Structure 1
Amino acid sequence: MSRRAPPTELATEERSTLESQVRSPSTAQRDVLRARIVLLAAENLRNDQIQQKLGVSKPVVIKWRRRYATDRLEGLADLPGRGRRPKYDAALRHRIAATACTTPPDSVGTHWSVRTLARHLGVGVAVVRSVLSSESLQPHRVRYGKDSPDPEFEPKMLAVVGLYLQPPDNAVVLSVDEKTSIQALDRTQPRLPMKPHRIERLSHESKRHGTASLLASLEVHSGQVRAEPIRRNDSATFIRFLRRLLNAYPAQELYIIADNGSSHRSKKTLAWVAKHQRLHLTFTPTHASWLNQIEIWFDILTRKVVRRGIFKSREERVERLMNFIHAYNQEARPFQWTYTGSPLAA
């Protein structure tokens, strides 16, 4: 007659912990198995009954019942040193990551790849790929940008952000800029529409029918857009647009956020603005037009209308742009501010 395993008794907190592990979808399956063995043992099931119920070997049941009886819940954890020892230590992984962040020699080219890094360091391709993935390093990608040299960057940036987050009472905040040289391109061959297993295709060759320019304002806290096509991008055109904005908001203070374009900061423009007390110009820092929310909307316009559009004339281009703006305003909403104040979460 086989010996009966000693009874397993669970405290209330221990049972709650084990049951929680069994129910949780994020618990590792090995931990779920160990918890279930202990829970079944607490129901006075024999080892062979637990073995049959869970589909495991009898030594596995005996091992985890014994570990629990000796060390309670801590006994269900893996002992230190479990599993295969890593072939590559932390120092090597750090060297791979550090090298990936350096400029490669001329013989490699302008940037590293997984294979050139592996060859340069004398390690396997798999470990290089693993390190780059775990550290979110993408040497094959590049993004263009330019730092602002403006010595007053911070106060100017805070002034713009302050208007976004806490506008003055009875004020309308308008983000204003021009989108110039929008080409009216026609294709030399018809568009091939999308089909199953094939994306839409456009001819590489195009015909130019001139360019169009747009002067637009984005009402920051409603998302509404006002725009008009322009022939010239000068002070007179900008002043005319500002006058129309004043007429559109006759009873409110207007705070205009603009970049440092010549038509925005010319003597003629500044002198005209000084005569209108309801109008306040706030300029973004030098080379920081990305702070201007109208740039986000221009990107939407490019993706939705410009990039894949086919236009037979400049007039058709302008008409399509204005039609899109009219439709956009029917469902316009402000851009949501997502920055939480934590630099690491930006």
Structure 2
Amino acid sequence: MAYGHKTEHRLRLRAQVVLHAARGRPNARIARETGLHLDTVRTWRGRFAEHGLPGLADRKRAGRPRAFTALQTAQVTALACQLPVESGVPLARWSAPDLARETIERGIAAFVSASTVRRWLAEDALKPWRYRSWIFITAPQFRPKAQRVLDLYARTWQGHPLGDDEYVISADEKTSIQARCRCHPTLAPGQARAMRVNHTYGRGGALAYLAAYDVHRARVFGRCEPRTGIDPFMNLVAQVMSQEPYASAKRVFWVVDNGSSHRGKKAADRLAAAFPNAVMIHTPVHASWLNQVEIYFSVVQRKVVSPNDFTDLTQVADRLRAFEGRYNATAQRFRWKFTTSDLDDLLAKLDRHTPDHQEESSFHLTA
């Protein structure tokens, strides 16, 4: 301890005091040679004589007394777990300064800082100033409809595995892709400088991008249309179904959401009439996240559309078509991990938050 390179300075001095004492030197001389006060030398010598090596460690200290009680901390945390409107405060959400102010006004504490409140909330991983939007599931027969889609992703239909001549297509539309012509050319990135895109722009119109994604072959078929509708969607279907292996396939399942272009039984009948080997499968209402083509659209948004700087709609369409070829050249299947077991866990979790007056809807969810 006295000569170790990794020994703390205070422990090194205390060890030197002990070694000097072991050599029979008096306290006054030890104090001169170590530069410590005489009382300090006497203290550490006595502690070592009484407790040995453990006596050279610092004793436990009470530390600074708590300025706030556990009850006060709990009351502030409970306040943060309530909506401000429920507490009669005209705010949409809490911030740390707002909570500190409300704590003082309610008499929970005479004074508390925003940083103290933030530290209390961090201990419970609470961030009341953040929020997420969500949609509560109310669609009847949600589970069986969602299970059909998940089973198709797992290459199963009505309890039987799909054959080699059966395919699953996920299709949808990405609406209103604008052509924004920036009033100043976009500047390329440079050293320690991000790409710069001018804020002002001229509008060059908008188009709709329709895409069909083969779930198991990881291949995209897309087309641009002036607007969405039944005819543009059927044009996409014809584009896919007119080529192999889909034209001669036993069955081609088309997973779509409940958009107006392909909603309900009429859309399913229209698809079957045009292509007898095509089967339309609808996702539940407000469950477009079950449609894998939405993942591809998110890729398009990040890699092609943003930042939006196009001279006209022709340039938008050309870039989208060029990206399809680039994507298909290296595409791999999405690693879809959401299974029917995850679906049951999700529904059970939502069911626990269902108010009493929605018990009937809750029954439909799990039926």
Aligned counterparts of 1:201 and 1:312: Cα–Cα separation in 2: 17
CA distance in 1, matches of 2:100, 2:228: 52
The residue correspondences of 1:117-128 to structure 2 (distance < 5 A) are: 117-122=99-104, 123-128=112-117
Contact 1:111/1:139 (8 A) holds in 2: yes
Alignment of 1:326-341 (within 5 A): 326-339=325-338
- In the TM superposition, residue 143 of structure 1 has moved relative to its aligned partner by 3.0
Other-structure match for 2:29? none
Q: How does 1:1-346 map to 2 (within 5 A)?
A: 50-53=1-4, 55=7, 56=11, 57-58=14-15, 87-105=67-85, 109-122=91-104, 123-167=112-156, 168-170=162-164, 171-248=166-243, 249=246, 250-265=248-263, 268-275=266-273, 276-339=275-338
* Counterpart position of 2:108: none
User: Structure 1 residues 97 and 217, CA, compared in 2 at 3 Å: closer, same or farther?
Assistant: farther
- Contact 2:93-2:128 within 8 A present in 1 as well: yes
Once the two structures are aligned, what percentage of the paired residues are identical? 32
> Does the Cα contact within 8 Å between 2:207 and 2:227 map onto a contact in 1?
no
1:141-174 CA distances to partner (integer Å, 9 max, x unpaired)?
3333322320111111122122223442332211
Task: Rate the CA distance shift 1:131–1:195 in 2: closer, same or farther, 3 A.
Answer: farther
The answer to whether the 8 A contact 1:51-1:61 is kept is no
Matches of 1:83 and 1:156, distance apart in 2: 61
Query: Scaled by the length of structure 1, what TM-score is found?
Result: 0.71
Q: Distance in 2 between matches of 1:159 and 1:133?
A: 42
Q: Residues of 2 paired with 1:113 and 1:208: CA distance?
A: 39
Structure 1 residue 195: Cα displacement: 3.8
Deviation at 1:127, TM superposition (A): 2.5
State the one-letter code of the partner of 1:180. T
Deviations 1:74-108 (A, max 9, x none): xxxx99x9866755455444333332232225765
Letter matched to residue 93 of structure 2: H
| Contact 2:258 2:264 (C-alpha < 8 Å) held by counterparts | no
Q: Which sections of structure 2, spanning at least 5 residues, go unmatched? A: 16-43, 105-111, 157-161, 350-367
Q: 2:338, 2:52 → 1: CA distance?
A: 48
Output the TM-score relative to the length of structure 2. Answer: 0.68
**How many corresponding residue pairs?**
286
CA distance in 1: counterparts of 2:184 and 2:84, whole angstroms = 42
CA–CA distance in structure 1, aligned partners of residues 118 and 52 of structure 2: 37
Q: 1:232: how far off?
A: 3.8
CA contact (8 A) 1:239 1:269 kept: no
Q: 1:333 to 1:98 in 2, by over 3 A?
A: farther
Specify whether residues 64 and 225 from structure 1 end up closer, same or farther in structure 2 by C-alpha distance, changes over 3 A only. Answer: farther
- Deviation, 1:243, is 2.8
Q: In the aligned structure 2, how far is the partner of 1:88 from the partner of 1:253?
A: 69
What is the distance in 2 between the residues matched to 1:224 and 1:91?
59
Amino acid in structure 2 at the alignment position of 1:200: M
